[in-house]
Amino acid sequence: MNIETLCLHSIDKRNEYGCLTTPIYQTSTFVHEGVEDTSQYSYSRLANPTRSHLENLVARLENGEKAYAFSSGMAAISTAIKLIKPPAHIIASDDLYGGSIRLFSNDALSYGYEFDFIDTSDLELVKSKIKDNTKAIYIETPSNPLMHVSDIQAISDIAKKNDLLFFVDNTFLTPYYQRPLDLGADIVVHSGTKFLGGHNDALAGFVVVKDKAIDERLAYLYKTVGACLAPFDSFLIERGIKTLPIRMDRISQNAKAVAQWLRNNPNVNKVYYVGFEDNKDYEISKKQSTGFGGMISFEVKKSAYVSQILRNVKVFQYAESLGGVESLITFPKKQTHADVPKEILEAKGINDRFLRISVGIENEQDLIEDLEQAFKDEV
Ligand SMILES: Cc1ncc(COP(=O)(O)O)c(C=O)c1O
């Protein structure tokens, strides 16, 4: 079954009353007929039928064996990272979502994890950082917010040779455009809040695995940590996934046009977008992904433009998040990456002139006209 169909007609559709949509089983616990006479469900922290349906769907979309749905992307990542037994050295992309950097750099040490943040698109650098106590590699690709692309297959080869667990955050491209498990990753994580849910109305996170031994440990962590997704939110995310393919197509088409418009704008210094043919990562993107997605970052010429643009936009909304049907514009230095030390942000170019866009499904011309009027006059 192709992914467009799978998003709508996943397994296990039959239920008691023949509902076409998955019922919301709003219950914390389940009644048993007898000790040996019981359903597979006992308590909703462990498993809930609405959530199980969503988890089975996400596992199939990612070509995994098992998926676990969490109350947020950060809940998923915080739990998944516990798959690595401390003390451990972990190699991670140096350009990650700010919340992941906060988790890995502030709290990780006290749990016995030592992180090296590097440019994981440089394979020789990745190899050179492996030490005796290295146990995992963790990447986002494309990364947030600089859109660096790392070669998933090549890193997976390095990970396998060195017996390392390999994690990929697949939030930006989703399984519609990229399937890291097929390329050798061990663990895929997601902020389901973003493109999977797609409507800016629910938080969610996922961890997807393909290996039985990893799954056993994750199942234990899942019920123990207890950061599970509620039945109603599971329903909302499943409903969002039904339109994932058409949303991603439209988003990608809009993003291409917006990125090109930004590139032609004399008030913009630099545009970070993986879909430009002259992007150094273009070929790797084409090799491992079937689309470029809706994320664009750009640097304006003068910092005064930032407050002007954020004040003037009408179709784009100045808000922190991404992946929904509405186009959002974010100021990473003050929002998503506010907890990352200033020197690190400056060195990477995430400065007072740097903005990130998540393109939605609006009319392409309306988006461009909105940016046009937001840039005009004042500065
Ligand atoms: C790439 C990426 N991963 C993980 C997260 C965390 O997800 P959540 O906000 O659902 O906790 C985010 C949030 O923006 C993200 O952009």
Domains of the chain: 3-242 (3.40.640.10), 244-375 (3.90.1150.10)
Q: In the prediction, which pLDDT does 336 show? A: 85
User: Rounded to an integer, what distance in angstroms lies between the CA atom of residue 372 and that of residue 105?
Assistant: 39
By C-alpha distance, which of 43, 54, 126, 65 is closest to 90? 126
Q: Which of 51, 66, 135, 194 is catalytic?
A: 194
Residues 301 and 269: beta-carbon distance below 8 Å: yes
Q: Is 78 in the pocket of ligand 1 (CB under 6 A)?
A: no
Q: Is 186 in the pocket of ligand 1 (CB under 6 A)?
A: no
Residues 297 and 255: beta-carbon distance below 8 Å: no
Q: Give Cα 232 to chain centroid, integer Å.
A: 21
Sequence-distant (6+) residues with CB within 8 A of 20 are: 13
Candidate from 171, 189, 335, 339 with most ligand 1 atoms within 8 A of CB, to mutate: 171
> pLDDT tens, 303-321?
999 999 999 999 999 999 9
Candidate from 70, 97, 138, 141 with most ligand 1 atoms within 8 A of CB, to mutate: 97
Residues 317 and 359: beta-carbon distance below 8 Å: no
How many Å lie between the centroid of ligand 1 and the Cα of residue 31? 36
Q: In the prediction, which pLDDT does 42 show? A: 96
By C-alpha distance, which of 364, 372, 344 is closest to 104? 344
Q: Is 375 in the pocket of ligand 1 (CB under 6 A)?
A: no
Nearest CA to ligand 1 atom 7: 73
Q: Is 205 in the pocket of ligand 1 (CB under 6 A)?
A: yes
Q: In the prediction, which pLDDT does 225 show? A: 97
Joined together, the tokens standing for residue 89 give: 């050295």
Identify the DSSP state of 84: S
Q: Is 59 in the pocket of ligand 1 (CB under 6 A)?
A: no
Q: In the prediction, which pLDDT does 108 show? A: 77
Q: Give Cα 165 to chain centroid, integer Å.
A: 18
Per the annotation, the verdict on 356 as an active-site residue is no
Q: Which of 95, 151, 169, 370 is catalytic?
A: 169
Low-confidence ranges of the chain (pLDDT < 50): none
User: Rounded to an integer, what distance in angstroms lies between the CA atom of residue 306 and that of residue 355?
Assistant: 7
> pLDDT tens, 279-291?
999 999 999 999 9
Backbone angles phi, psi at 161, to 5 degrees: -60, -30
> pLDDT tens, 58-112?
999 999 999 999 999 999 999 999 999 999 999 999 999 999 999 998 877 778 9
Joined together, the tokens standing for residue 262 give: 């930004």
Q: Give the other-Cβ count within 10 Å of 262's Cβ.
A: 24
Q: In the prediction, which pLDDT does 137 show? A: 98
Q: Is 74 in the pocket of ligand 1 (CB under 6 A)?
A: yes
Decide: helix, strand or coil at residue 220: helix
Residues 329 and 179: beta-carbon distance below 8 Å: no
Q: In the prediction, which pLDDT does 330 show? A: 96
How many Å lie between the centroid of ligand 1 and the Cα of residue 270? 24
Rounded to 10 deg, the angle between the 244-263 and 364-375 helix axes is: 40
User: Rounded to an integer, what distance in angstroms lies between the CA atom of residue 248 and that of residue 4?
Assistant: 11
By C-alpha distance, which of 262, 165, 293 is closest to 218? 165
User: Rounded to an integer, what distance in angstroms lies between the CA atom of residue 258 and that of residue 272?
Assistant: 12
Put simply, whether the predicted model's pTM sits higher than 0.95 gets the answer yes
Q: Is 72 in the pocket of ligand 1 (CB under 6 A)?
A: yes
Per the annotation, the verdict on 169 as an active-site residue is yes
User: Rounded to an integer, what distance in angstroms lies between the CA atom of residue 55 and that of residue 237?
Assistant: 10
Q: In the prediction, which pLDDT does 106 show? A: 81
Amino acid making up residue 134: T
